[in-house]
A and B are shown apart, each in its own frame.
Chain A
């Protein structure tokens, strides 16, 4: 079957660095996406990885290892507004996207 695993909840302190992991097992692979979703709002796109390595976008970075079926989202200089759920999603090469259940991140002052 197709499966994406990510931790349910994480807590970190304002100004710190946090790493959210995602492991996946899918029938095919055409890219991995990270979305941010604040409570009661729509998911918004953060990053996309299709090749191995690190993609950096300001305070956010995303890493992919296709051989290990593994990705992580790295958030630096955490701010209170980063408190949200972070969704990992894989496009297995079809029109469909497979989503993980999301990681709820709480940033404490």
Chain B
């Protein structure tokens, strides 16, 4: 049974804090993604990675960075959290090639920045 896990379901942080969101998949997938999901805006891609140590910016990378030191783990970092980063964060993975393959999503982390 395929599995994508995220480190926290709910997280509350203060403005200016550095925040780490962790994602782990056990499917040996090359591709991993970080999205944020906001009402009325759908899923927006923040960053993705197609191999270890490889990363590419998505549509809304500002204020975020990522790290992929191991194939199974993809971390999202908020360097200095701001209230407009309050959102649901979803991690996903997909098999190699990135084309024509469905994505497998983690349960999500609901982050609140106060």
Is A96's CB under 8 angstroms from B108's CB? no
Is A30's CB under 8 angstroms from B100's CB? yes
Is A87's CB under 8 angstroms from B48's CB? no
Q: Which residue of A lies closest to B50 (CB)?
A: A95
Interface of A is mostly: loop
- For window 32-64 of B, CB contacts with A under 8 Å fall at 33, 35, 40-45, 48, 50, 56, 58
What range describes how many residues of B lie at the interface?
Answer: 20 to 34
Q: Which residue of B lies closest to A28 (CB)?
A: B99
Is B58's CB under 8 angstroms from A42's CB? no
Interface flag for B31 (CB, 8 Å): yes
Q: Which residues of B contact A (CB under 8 A)?
A: 4, 31, 33, 35, 40-45, 48, 50, 56, 58, 90, 98-100, 102-108
30 contacts between A and B (CB under 8 A): A30-B99, A31-B99, A33-B102, A33-B103, A40-B108, A41-B108, A42-B90, A42-B105, A42-B106, A42-B108, A43-B43, A43-B105, A44-B105, A45-B102, A45-B103, A45-B104, A48-B102, A50-B100, A87-B43, A91-B98, A91-B100, A94-B99, A95-B50, A95-B56, A96-B45, A96-B58, A99-B42, A100-B42, A101-B40, A101-B41
